[in-house]
Structure 1
Amino acid sequence: MRKIIVILIVLFISVSNLTAQNIKTELDHYFSALAENKQFNGNVLIAENGKVLYQKSFGYADFSTKRKNASDSSFPIASITKTFTSTAILQLVEKGHLKLEDRAAEYLLDFPFKEVTIKQLLSHTAGLPIYDSLFFPIIAKHPDAVFTNKDLIPAMISQKSTLLFKSGDDFSYNNVNYNILALVIEKISGLSYGAYLEKNIFGPAGMKDTSLSKFFKRVDKNLSERYVVKYPYSEEMQSAETIEEFKVANHFDFQGHGDLISTCEDLLKYDTSLYNGKLLKISTLKQAYTPVLLSNGNDNIQRYGLGWITRENTLMGEIVKHDGGIPGGRTMLLRNLTKHQTIILFDNTANNVIPISDNALTILNGGKVDKPKKSGAKIYGIALAEKGIESGEKTLRKIQKDSLNYYISEGEINSLGYALMFNNKENEAENAFKQNTLLFPSSWNTYDSYGEILLRHGKKQNAIKMYQKSIELNSDNENGKKILEKIAD
């Protein structure tokens, strides 16, 4: 009998090891295909029960020097930072220094919104004004101004700001909530926000490669630079810091919402410290992972808890996560609490990591996902821009016949058309908008966009037909109605 038991144990271990190896192989196939398609550029770490199952780096940390991403590469973790701010606040709650139902104004005496509670700030149900309304009027007058957390309350007062809605009645994801929480942490602890995190989170968790940043930078030879694709019809990468619309971020040096820099391995240490109770009690974490209800008793739209995005229970288990996004960067920390599974993703070319993490979770739990496909719009756009309309159309026809390896997105082709138009490739842009109507004939927006460029090119009668078709498909297209009324006279 003992011999049979030993044999069964050996068989179980062998099968478990084989399953783990198969999952690792499937994960590698998936991420390697993404990297080949230029749909992932960065680091991935996937763990189960605190042990690394799959870890790999893809692409360049610095495209100009060809320095590659590596296991010790560091990244700005963006809004994953909010989970650290939440952890700090909940530590202060556990120590009896404040309560979740306390009003923020009890600690920040000048804070103008006297009814807003700590819990509402944590759950984005406070209704605070956003950066735009607080600081853009000031930036217009002082274009070199740089703002920190200490400027928030004075700006609220000087701009005579009002709440977006009655606190607790609705949900509005807003970085300002967490900047105010950072001020609360400093007021109660007597430490700077960074010093508090170092003493009470980074140190206990053994996170030696995590720190605050300055405009998403720090002195760090392993820091991955951030990039975006310059045009939808090109594979050329451009530093995110050189893009005009992103330069507004240089005015904001806030803390608490998205300003930490870390590594995959340090985030795994953080994850482990949350699981083993080193940072917070299990009962406190359970509260953090519970969606905060609105005043009408309904879940908020993101099922946001206290610093964590939650999912309704699935067959895979109870999932909590937080993703992050900054110019040229996307991040994800996803945790399957039921099965103690952890997925950490950093991408320094702004690829959307949310569907990637979902697919990785499916593979991790033995499921199958489709092979990543290449962007048909991208391939068509490159041919169109570099070789002309005839070549572009020929390439598009080939792509349409190869649905196994390519996908075609209406939104991507629409964006391609506008990018071509704004960069003086007018004929190519017209072709892109035209092709979109042929590919997606039931979409009102394709006809609206095509009508816009036809009108721009003086093709009034054809433009009228396109706007009429757009309105026929969508009677709520008020802008189309206005344009049609104007040009039909």
Structure 2
Amino acid sequence: METILGIARNQELMFEPGTGHEYSNVGYALLGAIIEKVTGKSYVQNVKERIVDPLGMKHIYLQEILNKPDRTIGYMKTINGIEDTEIVLAEPRPDGGFWCTPSDLLLFYQNFFYGNKLIPENSRTTDRYFERLMPSFEKANSIEYLAGGTNGHNSVIAQLLKENISIIVLANMDEPVAEKVADGIFDILKGKEPPIPKLPALLASYEAYKTNGIAYLKDNFENVTSNFYPDDPKDGILNNLGYQLMEAGKQEEAFDLFKLNTELFPEIANCWDSYGEILLKKGDRKAALDAYKKALFINPGLPSAQEMVKKLSN
């Protein structure tokens, strides 16, 4: 955790606290460090004493997961086929990584939503999260989703608050597999037919590009990428695909997709940054410099673009 905090200390603020919002795991790492500082105990010890032991959770791993014999292996479906993600597996931290069974996860969330061992009843009336949820406890078919994931692992609990029905899916595959399975189960509960499974957005994009061409992918991007986690920015789909293609030595295909990404998301600095990278690999220094300058115009604090503009300008 100290490594993460060390990196965070050297980063520029994206905005003044309280004035903006951006997804980041660093905030949770910082909260974990605060807990350790205040209590004088490790984050794991706090979780054990305050959550695991009081709830009687017997099937949860808080640390040393790499040596657990019954641990699942995570997989990702890439352009090269199905690959395991053991190489990126990390020990748990405050921003995620604990391992447990659906039964223990159910035990936790039953107490989180309805019990008083974790959260005193009087705290629920003043907590903004529960304040937002309160109407849903009285409304039929009102569902609260809590999801998370990392490379090769995807988990979700979908809680029908009024009915107290929990749908828990733990998948050893990249997202949004768990979310889509949970949605299908919810459809069945409502008497509806669940949708037919689709390829993940990244693979669907590549298949559409290879089969029908770049113009088709551009015109049908939203439909092609429908199987994607709804809260994640879609500019990451072609960006990730482009880098997979670069690693596979398919430079021209990577160029097509990075370029398309700048057309679909012209206001996203990272799209131009990645486009600059592939242009430089193709030997077009002038166009690469222009792309990096465009990235800096959108986000003047983007370190990679700052470095490359300085390097190419000399």
TM-score (norm 1): 0.43
Letter in 1 for 2:170: F
Distance 1:372 1:352 in 2: 11
The match for 2:3 is 132
Larger radius of gyration: 1
Q: For each residue in 1:414-442, what CA deviation from the matched residue of structure 2 results, as whole angstroms up to 9, or x when unmatched?
A: 12222333444333322322232344455
Could you say what secondary structure the match of 1:453 adopts?
Answer: helix
1:241 to 73, 86, 98: 86
Partner AA of 2:175 in structure 1: N
Matched residues, number: 282
User: One-letter code of the match for 1:312?
Assistant: R
State the Cα distance separating 1:234 from its structure 2 match. Answer: 3.1
In structure 1, how many angstroms separate the alpha carbons of the residues matched to 2:150 and 2:103? 21
What is residue 59 of structure 2 aligned with on the other side?
A: 210
User: Which residue among 165, 168, 190 is the counterpart of 1:344?
Assistant: 168
Which residue in 2 is equivalent to 1:426? 251
Residue in structure 2 matched with residue 411 of structure 1 by the alignment: 236
Matched letter for residue 274 of structure 2: S
Q: Deviations over 1:182-235 (max 9, x none)?
A: 9599999xxx948x946x433xxxx7x624465336454xx5332334x4x333
User: Does residue 460 in structure 1 map to residue 285 in structure 2?
Assistant: yes
For structure 1, the 5+ residue unaligned runs are 1-129, 137-160, 162-168, 292-298, 304-309, 384-390
Alignment match, 1:165: none
Deviations along 1:331-366, one digit per CA (max 9) or x if unpaired, are 234544444232322121231479659957985689
Match of 1:201 in 2: 55
Give me the whole-angstrom Cα distance separating, in 2, the residues matched to 1:187 and 1:403.
Answer: 46
- Report SS of the residue matched to 1:350: coil
State the Cα distance separating 1:271 from its structure 2 match.
Answer: 4.9
Residues 387-420 of structure 1: CA distance to partner in whole angstroms, max 9, x if unpaired?
Answer: xxxx737444444565685228432111222233
SS in 1 for 2:245: helix
Q: Secondary structure at the match of 1:236?
A: strand
Change (3 A) 1:314 1:213: closer
Aligned identity (percent) is 21
1:261 is the counterpart of 2:85: no
CA distance in structure 1 between the aligned counterparts of 2:73 and 2:44, rounded to whole angstroms: 30
Distance 1:178 1:471, change over 3 A: closer
Asked if 2 retains the 8 angstrom alpha-carbon contact of 1:228 and 1:350, the reply is yes
CA contact (8 A) 2:145 2:159 kept: yes
Alpha-carbon separation, structure 2, partners of 1:135 and 1:379: 38
- Equivalent residue for 2:21? none
Structure 2 stretches of 5 or more lacking a match? 10-16, 19-25, 227-233
Letter in 2 for 1:261: C
Q: Flag the structure with more relative contact order, 1 or 2, with Cα contacts below 8 A and sequence separation at least 6.
A: 1
Q: How does 1:278-297 map to 2 (within 5 A)?
A: 280=117, 284-285=120-121, 287=123, 290-291=126-127
Coordinate RMSD, CA, aligned: 5.3
Residue identity matched to 2:156:
M
When residues 481 and 368 of structure 1 are mapped into structure 2, their CA distance, relative to the original with a 3 A threshold, is farther
- Specify the alignment match of 1:91 in structure 2: none
What TM-score comes out, normalization by structure 2 length?
A: 0.61
Distance in structure 2 (CA, Å) of the matches to 1:313 and 1:453: 46
Distance in 1, matches of 2:307 and 2:68, equals 50
2:154 paired with 1:330: yes
Return closer, same or farther for 1:316/1:486 CA change in 2, 3 Å cut-off.
Answer: same
Aligned to 2:28: 173
How far apart in 2 are the matches of 1:446 and 1:187?
A: 41
Q: Which residue of 2 aligns with 1:3?
A: none
Matched to 2:291, the amino acid is M
Q: Distance in 1 between matches of 2:242 and 2:291?
A: 16
Check if 1:226 corresponds to 2:226. Answer: no
Q: Conserved in 2, the CA contact under 8 Å of 1:375 and 1:406?
A: no
Q: Distance in 1 between matches of 2:287 and 2:100?
A: 53
Query: Alignment partner of 2:156: what SS?
Result: strand
Specify which structure has the higher proportion of helix.
2
Could you tell which deviates more after superposition, 463-472 or 451-460? 463-472
Tell me which amino acid in the other structure corresponds to 1:215.
E
> Structure 1 CA distance, aligned partners of 2:158 and 2:125?
12
Alignment partners' CA distance in 1, 2:28 and 2:126: 17
1:419 to 1:258, Cα distance in 2 relative to 1, 3 A: closer
Check conservation: 2:239, 2:274, Cα contact below 8 A: yes
Maintained 8 Å contact 1:414/1:436? yes
User: Partner residue of 2:12?
Assistant: none
Q: Which residue number corresponds to residue 145 of structure 1?
A: none
**Separation (CA, whole Å) in 2 of partners of 1:135 and 1:413:** 31
Once the 2 structures are TM-superposed, how far is the Cα of residue 463 of structure 1 from its aligned partner?
2.6
Letter in 1 for 2:312: I
